[in-house]
Amino acid sequence: MADEGSLATVESLALVALGGFVGANARYAVGLAVPVPWATLAVNVAGSALLGFVLYEEAYLGAFSRQFRVALGTGFLSSLTTYSTFAVETAALSPALALANVLGNYALGFAAVALGRWAALSLAGAAR
């Protein structure tokens, strides 16, 4: 008979796999709809905002279950966002465009995390 720790591990692995499947397919769909490197920028910024929300939601609200956070944060968002594609696309650009791409991804990514944090704090304030 498996202990609860083993079952929790199997459950987490399944949730990451399910979230990853959905995230990877969402990333692929965005790549079909939006030209390079804008698709990568879009998914990285959206993923940063969502991850910022999920992390701060956990700290201030705690409304989501551990399982939901695992599926969304570790599974879906890690497959939706992509550092490797960002790096390859940046390396293929001219130096000026590469610099703009790096600055844009990082500046917008950090701003998106702040937006996610703001949304979670706003909901926490409204919930009180």
Give the tens place of pLDDT for each residue, 16-38.
999 999 999 999 999 999 998 99
pTM for the structure as a whole:
0.91
Helices 38-60, 4-33: inter-axial angle, 10-degree rounding: 150
Helices 83-91, 38-60: inter-axial angle, 10-degree rounding: 150
| Distant-in-sequence, close-in-space partners of 80: CB < 8 Å, separation ≥ 6 | 23, 24, 26, 27, 43, 46, 47
The percent of residues above 90 in pLDDT, for the chain, comes to 91
Of residues 82, 55, 80, the one with CA closest to residue 69: 55
The two structure tokens encoding residue 64: 């989501």
Average pLDDT on 86-109 reads: 97
pLDDT band at 48 (very low <50, low <70, confident <90, very high): very high
pLDDT value at residue 68: 97
pLDDT band at 102 (very low <50, low <70, confident <90, very high): very high
The two structure tokens encoding residue 115: 């937006």
Provide the mean pLDDT of the chain: 95
**Domain map of the chain by residue range?**
4-127
